[in-house]
Chain A
Amino acid sequence: MKKLIKLILMISLTFLNPVLAKSNDEIANKISKNIRCLVCQGQSVYDSQSDFAISVRAVIEKKINDGSSEEEIYEYLKSKYGEWISYEPKLNKFTYLLWLLPLILFIFGGLLIFKKVFIRI
Chain B
Amino acid sequence: MKRKIIFILCIFLTIFVFLSFFMGLDKDNVYKPIKIIDNKILNFKGDDLYSNKILDLNNIVDTKFILINIWASWCSPCRSEHKYILQLKKNQQLSIIGLNYKDKVQNAKNFILELGNPYDFIIKDKSGTISIELGAYGVPETFIVNTETKKVIYKYIGPIDKEIKSEIEKIIRS
Contact = CB atoms under 8 A, between A and B. Distances in A.
B77 interface: no
A87 interface: no
Interface in B120-174: 127-129, 131-135, 137-138
A79 B138 contact: no
Interface in B60-107: 101-102
Interface in A90-110: 97
A80 B127 contact: no
Contacts, number: 44
Interface of A: 38-39, 51-52, 54-56, 58-59, 62, 79-82, 84, 97
Given A82-B34, A84-B34, A55 B128 contact: yes
B129 A80 contact: no
Most buried by A among B34, B39, B102: B34
B137 A80 contact: no
Contact of B20 (A39, A80, A84, A97): A97
Interface of B: 20, 31, 33-34, 36, 39, 101-102, 127-129, 131-135, 137-138
12 contacts: A39-B138, A51-B128, A52-B138, A58-B129, A59-B129, A59-B133, A62-B129, A79-B36, A80-B36, A80-B132, A80-B133, A82-B34
Most buried by B among A55, A79, A81, A97: A55
Contact of A81 (B20, B34, B102, B127): B34
A38 B129 contact: no
Nearest to B40: A79
B83 to A, nearest CB: 25
Contacts of B36: 79-82
Contacts of A97: 20
